[in-house]
Amino acid sequence: MISIVIVIGITYVIYYLTDPIYKILGRRGSLIITRVFAILVAAIGVQYIVNGLESLLNN
């Protein structure tokens, strides 16, 4: 429960500070960060698939 509240709080702060963050990063910086996080999320997804297949094949 505490972790959910923490994540919601962090998300709120990030949404609240979107304009100042965008002014600091600019368009190019925002695109770079978006792509980096997209690769990170894709890597996590691939890891979940690999772990699932590994446990399926080991049984």
**pLDDT per position in the chain (59 positions), as tens?**
999 999 999 999 999 999 998 899 899 999 999 999 999 999 999 999 999 999 999 87
- Quickly tell me which residue has 């446990």 as its tokens: 55
What length does the chain have? 59
Domain extents in the chain: 2-58
- Does this model's pTM top 0.75? My answer is no
Instruction: Judge whether 33 and 25 are in contact, CB under 8 Å.
Output: yes
DSSP code for 27? H
Distance between CA atoms of 18 and 26, rounded to whole angstroms?
11
DSSP code for 17? T
